[in-house]
Amino acid sequence: MWSFPTNVQAEGGFPIAIITLINDLLLVMIIMEVLRTVLSYLAERGGSLRPFLFIASISATRRILAIGAQMSVAGETLTAARFQQSMIDLGVNAGAILAIAIALFLLGKRPDE
């Protein structure tokens, strides 16, 4: 976050600086969620799978947003190989989010013990 002014003046300019800032903020959010989950686990002497699934979905969403933003900034300088790799990465992350959503749905259907 402190590097934002430096990134604005860098070669990529403002669009790259915004992408980097959003990416960094989402990373901080993921780290905070992991710490909150660990503290909750320690306090309760047990834990739930749900917080980790939420963290995983935030992480996959973060990656999708970063790839989309990088591709839009790259524009016509994007090579065919890089485009193909980005599409594969987007597909894998979308599949991960779908699997996480199904897992959260199934956890919601489970009777409480």
Residue that has been written with the tokens 């996480």 in this structure: 100
Q: What is the C-alpha separation between 90 and 97, in angstroms, rounded?
A: 11
pLDDT on residue 50 = 82
Q: What is the pLDDT of residues 59-108, one digit of tens each?
A: 888 888 888 888 887 777 888 898 999 999 999 999 999 999 999 999 88
Nearest to 53 by CA among 98, 103, 89: 103
Say which DSSP state 45 is in: T
Give the dihedral sign, CA 19/103/34/86. negative
Q: What is the pLDDT of residues 16-60, one digit of tens each?
A: 777 778 878 888 888 888 888 778 777 877 667 787 888 888 888
Percentage of the residues of the chain whose pLDDT score is greater than 70: 85
Residues in CB range of 90: below 8 A, 6 or more apart: 64, 67, 68
pTM of the model: 0.68
